[in-house]
Every structure is written in C-alpha cells, then in structure tokens.
Amino acid sequence: MSAALEVAGLCKRYGDVGVLDGVSFRVAEGEIVAIVGANGSGKSTLLRCCLGLLRAEAGSVRLLGHDLSRLRGRRLRRLRGSGALIWQRHHLVPRLSALANVMHGAQARSDDPRLWFRATSPAWLRAEALAALDAVHLAPLAERRVDRLSGGESQRVAIARALVQRPRLLFADEPVASLDPRVSAEVMELLIGKVRALGLTLVFVSHDVRGSLAHASRVIGLRGGKVELYAPAERLTPAHLRSFYD
C-alpha cells in the first residue's frame, strides 16, 4: 500500500531547545494512526511539521509522495490543501454562523476570492457545506453563530469544515481534549466514522489511552522528541501507552 506520509530523521529545535530528535515513521493511505506522549514530547510540533506549517532543521517529510522541503509558495499551499488539521480549540470565527465557518473550508482548495465571503460564494459551496453539517448532525444549527454553540457542537463544525476541504489526509491535534468524557467519545466516534466512510488517512494526537487503542491501527509513542514505540495497536495494551505519561 502506498504511503500517505513518510517522515525520516526529522529534527526540530526552538532556539536551544530540541523538540524532535530523529523522528521516523510511515503512514499508509487509509491508515488511522495515533500519536501518544506526555506534554512536551513533541506531538503537536510533529503534526505541524508534517503539514508544512513548520520547517525542520534536518530530516524530511513526504506528504502524498511530495517532499515538503522542495516546495514553496503556491505549490506548497496546494499540497497543504490535500491535508486538513483539526485543532483542539476549533479555530472557528465566533461571530459567524456554523454554515459560514464550514464554507471557509473550501478556501484550502481554491484561490477563488468569492469563497472568502458568504454573500459571493457559489450555490454549490453552500449546498456542500450544508451536507457536511448534516453529516455531523448539525444541519438544524447551520445559521447559529458559533459563539452560541456548545464545545461539542463547535468541534463538530470544525470537523465539517475539514470535510469541505476535501482532504486526502486528516491531522487532528487532541481534537476532543477540551470536551467532557461523554461528548468527547461521541465526537471521536463521529470523526472516526467519517474517516472510514470516506477512506481518508488520519493521524491524531491523543491522551486517551483506551480511545487510541480502540480507533487506531497503529500507535506512535513519543518520549523526549524520539519515537520509542511504533507498533500495531492490536499488539498493545493500555499499560504500554500509560508508560508514556509516567
């Protein structure tokens, strides 16, 4: 199976502080991979390097067969559009409606300036955004401002926005960490269900040991910026993953 993501010898520093130290792994197309590790182990930095939002000092990242270090400008932006990042804090526009926020997902795949404003957006985009909201069970709240939604509803809007981007590869940085346990489980099940239904590749960061084992086909364990675990989830137990938080 071809690789959606290949990371080799990745090193990243912030000033004098080393964050990633020779990180290497491969994610096949259609695979769901969990990244676990304590705070400060380099998980979020790794995701940003994988999507080209940060430049590493050494090593390489191949995203969908393309070496990120060789791309600049429009070519890099276009490749980034093939991957979507779902943040823990949603990064939605509070004063806009759920529908308007979801429509913004299309900006990642087009330079058309009409997509910036709902009033000038084409009808097909509105229909696609409504369908994405319906897919995450939020169509009745399409016109509600995001700052009037609950945390779980806001994160579902963020998932819908990512779907409108039409990515081949999804990254999620602790997407349910700010939610209560019940809502967290519901949103994560929804995300995993959409990923599997669409045949997408997913790399997600999580502190939920049992959830990581339940959803992922493979788990990467980071400690001190190094990969100390890279194994199929079926071979692991919760005790294996808890050791990364000791």
pLDDT of residue 229: 93
Which are the contacts of 54, defined by CB distance < 8 A and separation ≥ 6? 12, 45, 48
What mean pLDDT value characterizes the chain?
A: 88
User: pLDDT > 70: what percent of the chain?
Assistant: 94
Domains recognised in the chain with CATH numbers? 31-49+74-245 (3.40.50.300)
Q: Which pLDDT value is given to residue 111?
A: 64
Q: Is 89 exposed, middle or buried (0-12, 13-18, 19+ CB in 10 A)?
A: middle
In whole angstroms, give the CA distance from residue 150 to residue 109: 28
pLDDT over 90, % of the chain: 47
- Residue 117 pLDDT level (bands cut at 50, 70, 90): low
| pLDDT value at residue 113 | 59
Residue recorded with tokens 């300036």: 113
Q: What is the dihedral of CA 158, 160, 161, 165, to 10 degrees?
A: 140
Tell me: the pLDDT tens digits for 151-189? 888 888 998 998 888 888 999 988 877 778 887 888 888
Question: pLDDT tens, 42-98?
Answer: 999 999 999 888 889 999 999 988 888 887 777 877 777 788 888 877 789 899 999
pLDDT of residue 97: 92
Cα atoms in the 13 Å half-sphere on the side-chain side of 181: 3
pLDDT for 152: 85
- pLDDT band at 11; cut points 50, 70, 90: very high
Q: In the prediction, which pLDDT does 190 show?
A: 84
Q: State phi, psi for 115 to the nearest 5 degrees.
A: -75, -10
| DSSP codes of every residue in 57-114 | SEEEEEETTEEGGG--HHHHHHHHTTEEEE-TT----TTSBHHHHHHGGGGGG---GG
CA distance 243 to 246: 5
pLDDT tens digit sequence for 25-37: 999 999 999 999 9
